[in-house]
Amino acid sequence: MRPFLCLLCAMTIAAPASYERGMGSPPQELKFASFESPEELRLLVPVNARVELTTEHATEGRQALRIDFERAERPGVQFPARGTPWDWHSFGALAFDLTNPSDEEVGFALRIDDDAAADDTHHIVSGHATIGPHQSSSYSYPLGPSTPMENGMRGGPPYPGIEPFVYTSRNRVNEGHITRFEIYLDHPAAPRTLILDNIRLLPPISYDGIVDAFGQYTRADWPGKILNEAELTTRRAEEESQIQAAPALPDRDEYGGWAAGPQVSPTGFFATVKRDGKWWLVTPNGHLFLSLGVDVISLLDGDTIVGGREKMFAWLPPAGDPLAKHFGNTENVLYGPIKKGRTFNFYAANLERKYGPDYIQRWRSFALDRLRAWGFNTIANWSDSGLYDLKRVPFTATVDISGDFARVASGQDYWGKMADPFDPKFAAAAAASIRETAQRYRDDPWCLGYFIDNEISWGSPNTERTHYGLVYGTLAGGKDSPAKAALVEQLRLHYGKIKNMNRVWHTRFSSWEVLRDQPVELSGAMTPQMRDDFSSFLKLFAQQYFRVVRDTLKQFDPNHLYLGCRFAWRTPEAAAAAAEYCDVVSFNIYRSHLDPQEWEFAASLGKPCIIGEFHFGALDRGMFHPGLVSTPNQQARAAMYRDYILSVVDHPAFVGCAWFQYYDEPLTGRTYDGENYNIGFVTATDTPYREMVAAAKAVHAEVYRRHAGQ
């Protein structure tokens, strides 16, 4: 047998010189390791894992690498470059074959470092994937110009026959200086075994011509793919007939509430009630209600950047074409190499092809027909307000508080720093942001309530630094920080003299004024007293935020529910404060289901809870990224939808959830941040995923009786 090229040897792998100059052909696939020699095992670094060669499930040669992962925080196998770092700059992906010999699904991750000083944040890229029981698959992680974010999207076109990692890194390593990569599991619930083989580097993949005239992937076919414009109108007629035959689930009132269920005194607006230890929403006419919603029923999120990326598209409308009206421009790009430029909306163009010149009104009406037929009863966040005016499906109003007020860093500032609620300018901004929307809907019985802000930077209880991040951020402020003044005043009231605080904090501040006016960066371990003080300020901070927002909302609209801020990250203090001031506490929960143990605390909040976002996707219908929760295919995606809904319904504190989002994100990424997830109930061609629709109708039909314990 021809000797394999050892991945772990002290060597540098470089592209041919002609390719480096942009000439000649790209490099061919390069074999790295097939695990045919025992010497390789001595070059690996197992971490809470055991490795051995095996003849079972070998895909390249006679042997493969068996990895037995222990139950630990992060068991894995590291592959370090010995001596000279590897040069991968001319290749498109790192790939390998994997087999799961067990009866359980296994989630795993890959990390690639470009520096010996790499930590969990710097000099790394990473991704994750899942392999089913008794499954054998190949997986690839993109490199260099093949990296999706280098092309303005979260997931890129796949290599044929190879499953891509869910690409979680927005940064990029130096592919010419790779020092290590690692395959690991993240907190496995039990020992796991995987068999690894055929590690290799793949040539770059082309992004040219990957999108057809309907916004679909050009290099694959799948059930439901649109091949010509006539199919759009044919499918519209077929679906219209299906909906006419079953326009709504039985036993529903005009709002989608439980028509035959117990009656509650009506208030004329949506309300909450607790019955037999379980929370419910209540319709304006007094029927029990669980909110089953869909986010982003809107044409505005279908735009994708085409300027500077024209080669990706096999067709764009020429000047004078009726569909050229769907071109636009953007200047609000957060991630990706192109920060502004021309856009095109394939979804809107397909709707015009499908519904005709008056497509907007016809699409709105048909979208609501779909919601009612599929058992949904809520138009959820970021949807087209024109849908609200039709008064056919209840809706949630959305407000983001914006303005020129102070902010505080928590260290987990994904969408931006946290508002400083102690700043008087924040209260003024809340009034300015809330007033118009609240006055518009204050007398509308179809409005369920208001979500105000979204996924703001509370921190998380994972570590002390992330739990108390807002306190550290507040301490880093100076004399112009309202939050800093509030913190110091709270400490002064508690300790009296600065020396008392110094004693328990192990600090040496000369006065309260020095602590207030100078930026402070604490180091060293926290004392128990510091932990109590930090927790007290987090509670004060959150109470101030929710109080200001609640009071402002109720000033302009006393009739509707305050649905909270849609926690994506939270601390216990923030959740407790939300329960004090919100009518309903909201969370965005991207999991396969609502884990009853993890969310047991919700029952003790004393308020109903609602889920603002959840989704899962798959890669079997021409999309490049499955979203935040991955499934193998559309059948599995539909089954997970049923399981998720039932897990919510079975929890006594939860009164609903909203799927994110109505249609798939653009194949080449939405403009703002490049997300291109398979998360729709319909495709970019407005074609429903039949598996998802069938699952939704079936499970939605049973939610009321199940929540009631019948």
Q: What percent of the chain has pLDDT over 90?
A: 86
Q: Which two tokens stand for residue 260?
A: 């035959």
Q: What is the Cα–Cα distance from 585 to 576, expressed in whole angstroms?
A: 9
Query: Do 173 and 321 have their domain in common?
Result: no
Establish if 3 belongs to a structural domain: no
**For 12-21, what is the mean pLDDT?**
34
Strands 192-202, 64-69: parallel, antiparallel or unpaired by DSSP?
A: antiparallel
Strands 447-452, 561-562: parallel, antiparallel or unpaired by DSSP?
A: parallel
Partners of residue 1 on adjacent β-strands: none
* pLDDT in the model for residue 25: 54
- State residue 595 phi and psi, 5-degree precision: -70, 120
Query: Do 236 and 197 have their domain in common?
Result: no
Q: What is the Cα–Cα distance from 24 to 16, expressed in whole angstroms?
A: 9
Q: What is the Cα–Cα distance from 396 to 270, expressed in whole angstroms?
A: 11
Q: Which two tokens stand for residue 527?
A: 């004392």
Establish if 403 belongs to a structural domain: no
Strands 106-113, 180-184: parallel, antiparallel or unpaired by DSSP?
A: antiparallel
Query: Do 235 and 363 have their domain in common?
Result: yes
Q: What is the Cα–Cα distance from 471 to 538, expressed in whole angstroms?
A: 7
Binning pLDDT at 50, 70 and 90, where does residue 315 land?
very high
pLDDT in tens, 398-452: 999 999 999 999 988 888 999 999 999 999 999 999 999 999 999 999 999 999 9
Q: Which two tokens stand for residue 157?
A: 């076109």
- Expressed as residue numbers, the domain containing 701 is 229-381+574-707
Binning pLDDT at 50, 70 and 90, where does residue 462 land?
confident
Establish if 11 belongs to a structural domain: no
Strands 291-294, 378-379: parallel, antiparallel or unpaired by DSSP?
A: parallel
Count the helices and strands in the chain (H runs, E runs): 16, 29
Q: What is the Cα–Cα distance from 572 to 418, expressed in whole angstroms?
A: 17
Instruction: Give just the sign of the alpha carbon dihedral 602, 605, 609, 613.
Output: negative
Query: Do 197 and 276 have their domain in common?
Result: no
CB-based contacts of 698, cutoff 8 Å, min separation 6: 642
* pLDDT in the model for residue 355: 97
Please check the confidence at residue 375 and state whether its pLDDT lies above 90. Answer: yes
Indicate the range of 329-338, 554-563, 701-710 predicted with least confidence. 329-338
- Judge contact between 402 and 429, C-beta under 8 A: yes
Match 């110094």 to its residue by tokens: 502
State how many domains the chain has. 2
* pLDDT in the model for residue 170: 67
Query: Do 257 and 123 have their domain in common?
Result: no
* pLDDT in the model for residue 169: 66
Establish if 88 belongs to a structural domain: yes
Establish if 520 belongs to a structural domain: no
Q: What is the Cα–Cα distance from 424 to 428, expressed in whole angstroms?
A: 7
Neighbours of 406 (CB within 10 A): 20
Domain with residue 301: its CATH number is: 3.20.20.80
Tell me the three state secondary structure of residue 430: helix
CB-based contacts of 542, cutoff 8 Å, min separation 6: 458, 571, 573, 574, 576, 577, 578
Give me the chain's average pLDDT, please.
93
Binning pLDDT at 50, 70 and 90, where does residue 705 land?
very high
* pLDDT in the model for residue 224: 95
* pLDDT in the model for residue 168: 67
Query: Do 79 and 172 have their domain in common?
Result: yes
Establish if 192 belongs to a structural domain: yes
Query: Do 350 and 255 have their domain in common?
Result: yes
- Please spell the DSSP secondary structure of 178-221, one letter per residue: B-EEEEE-SS-SS-EEEEEEEEEEEPP---TT-B-TTS-BSS--
* pLDDT in the model for residue 33: 80
As a three-state string, the secondary structure of 10-50 is CCCCCCCHHHHCCCCCCCCCEEEECCCCHHHHHHCEEECEE
CB-based contacts of 671, cutoff 8 Å, min separation 6: 303, 304, 305, 330, 332, 333, 343
Q: Do you know the residue count of the chain?
A: 710
**At 424, which helix (H) or strand (E)?**
helix 424-441
pLDDT in tens, 200-259: 999 999 999 999 999 999 999 999 999 999 999 999 999 999 999 999 999 999 999 999
**Eight-class DSSP state of 673:** T
Query: Do 248 and 194 have their domain in common?
Result: no
pLDDT in tens, 24-64: 455 678 877 889 888 888 889 999 999 999 999 999 889 99
Query: Do 116 and 243 have their domain in common?
Result: no
Please check the confidence at residue 571 and state whether its pLDDT lies above 80. Answer: yes
- State residue 492 phi and psi, 5-degree precision: -65, -40
Establish if 426 belongs to a structural domain: no
Query: Do 137 and 193 have their domain in common?
Result: yes
Residue 582's identity, in one-letter code, is: C
| Strand-by-strand arrangement of the 291-294 sheet | 561-562, 447-452, 395-399, 378-379, 291-294, 654-659, 609-614, 585-588
Please check the confidence at residue 335 and state whether its pLDDT lies above 90. Answer: no
| Strand-by-strand arrangement of the 106-113 sheet | 45-47, 76-80, 180-184, 106-113, 124-131, 166-167
- Of 165, 33, 173, 44, the residue nearest 108 (C-alpha): 165
Query: Do 597 and 662 have their domain in common?
Result: yes
**Eight-class DSSP state of 612:** E
Query: Do 194 and 270 have their domain in common?
Result: no
Tell me the three state secondary structure of residue 399: strand
As a three-state string, the secondary structure of 223-287 is CCCCCCHHHHHHHHHHHHHHHHHCCCCCCECCCCCECCCCECCCCCCCEEEEECCEEEEECCCCE
Q: Given its phi and psi angles, is residue 550 left (phi above 0), alpha (psi -120 to 50 degrees) or beta? A: alpha
pLDDT in tens, 127-179: 989 898 999 999 999 998 889 989 999 999 999 989 888 876 667 899 999 99
* pLDDT in the model for residue 523: 84
Strands 447-452, 395-399: parallel, antiparallel or unpaired by DSSP?
A: parallel
Question: Measured in whole angstroms, how far is the alpha carbon of residue 307 from the centre of its chain?
Answer: 26
- Judge contact between 47 and 74, C-beta under 8 A: yes
* pLDDT in the model for residue 436: 96
Binning pLDDT at 50, 70 and 90, where does residue 638 land?
very high
Domain with residue 158: its CATH number is: 2.60.120.430
Q: What is the Cα–Cα distance from 482 to 474, expressed in whole angstroms?
A: 9
Match 């394999």 to its residue by tokens: 4
The residue that leads in pLDDT, 415 or 330, is 330
Establish if 560 belongs to a structural domain: no
Q: Which two tokens stand for residue 96?
A: 């390998």
Burial class (CB in 10 A: 0-12, 13-18, 19+), 698: middle
Please check the confidence at residue 14 and state whether its pLDDT lies above 50. Answer: no
